[in-house]
Structure 1
């Protein structure tokens, strides 16, 4: 029996200030991703994550927020599912990274990089959008061929938000979440 389901895209993005260019790239990503009608999973409703949520909500996409205990009182749009994890910021990154079939980083700092590395370690394909002037841009120079020699999952660096969305919708070339056996990687 084949079960049809939506691709689940975890989105890691900066929690603070961002440029107009970063905002537009996030919106373009969401508009392109909407073509495959995914479920988007994010870690909050502030910073660049708020842009993604608002754009997705406006397009009628399903959105799930994994809220850290420090910011459980945020008020997202109606219909956005808020999971109050009871976990601090970094701990809530575990279910964020684990729940997606693929993780896309739209630009960010150490929190975004933690989520990228965590998803990779869990066998999730990763797409890193470069050209944002955030620290995540340095991942491509530091790790051009993946994060370690085990090649746990594909790591894709792209500078085009449309290509990032297309890769995410395609599963970015790796097995889906249900195939990960929990091996120590």
Structure 2
């Protein structure tokens, strides 16, 4: 069973950048749950809330790795209150999962992407979702790695079907 971290934009669900990604994000949550995988996120608002809602509506299990002592969104089953700030909490998230899926995102997402790579966690970028998910592709070596150590593979997908196929392959290889 895969433990999948989903990272991306935080913020109000009405913000244009989040609202535009709500359908695909919700469907990713449903797909994770349908396959019996566990969803991990930062547990707050934005992409984290939408993906968690999708997972919960498909009877999935959701874990929120939260900063400080705050509560997560209403779709989180397990609220892990780290007592840490946003950046440090991100490393707990990265260490807890088998793979990271990135959807848009600002600097917190960039920190999580680099943390995942440094810890040898595969990263899947959802193409055309904006933010650091799209920006980081310009930095890749051989279209796959963030540096010459080749610590972890970075994949890009365009659809939920491609994403699901890749995750199933990773589960078999695990």
TM-score by length of 1: 0.82
User: For residues 161 and 11 of structure 1, what CA distance do their matches in structure 2 show?
Assistant: 13
SS of 1:95's equivalent in the other structure is helix
Unaligned runs of 5+ in 2: none
Q: Structure 2 vs 1, CA of residues 173 and 128 (structure 1 numbering), >3 Å: closer, same or farther?
A: farther
Q: Which moved more, 1:98-107 or 1:136-145?
A: 136-145
The structure whose RCO (Cα within 8 Å, separation 6+) is larger is: 1
Judge which range, 148-157 or 159-168, deviates more.
Answer: 159-168
- CA displacement 1:52-111 (0-9 Å, x = unmatched): 111111111111100101x6134524x610011000000000110011111111221111
Dislocated runs of 4+, deviation >4 Å? none
1:76 matched residue in structure 2: 74
Report how far residue 37 of structure 1 moved.
Answer: 0.8
1:156 is matched with 155
Check the 8 A contact 1:45/1:76 in 2, yes or no.
Answer: no
Aligned counterpart for 2:10 among listed residues 2, 9, 15: 15
Contact 2:43–2:64 (8 Å) recurs in 1: yes
Equivalence for 2:52: 53
Give distance in 1, aligned partners of 2:6 and 2:138.
21
Question: How has the CA–CA distance of structure 1 residues 46 and 38 changed in structure 2, closer, same or farther, with 3 Å as cutoff?
Answer: same
* Per-residue deviation, 1:165: 3.3
Give the TM-score normalised by the residue count of structure 2: 0.87
**Is there any run of 5+ residues in structure 1 with no aligned partner, and where?**
1-5, 177-185
From 111, 132, 136, give the equivalent of 2:133. 136
Q: How far apart are the structure 1 equivalents of 2:33 and 2:74? A: 19
Paired residue for 2:166? 167
CA distance in 1, matches of 2:165, 2:26: 14
Q: Give distance in 1, aligned partners of 2:123 and 2:132.
A: 16
In structure 2, what is the Cα distance between the partners aligned to 1:65 and 1:74? 6
Identify the match of residue 85 of structure 2 among 79, 83, 88. Answer: 88
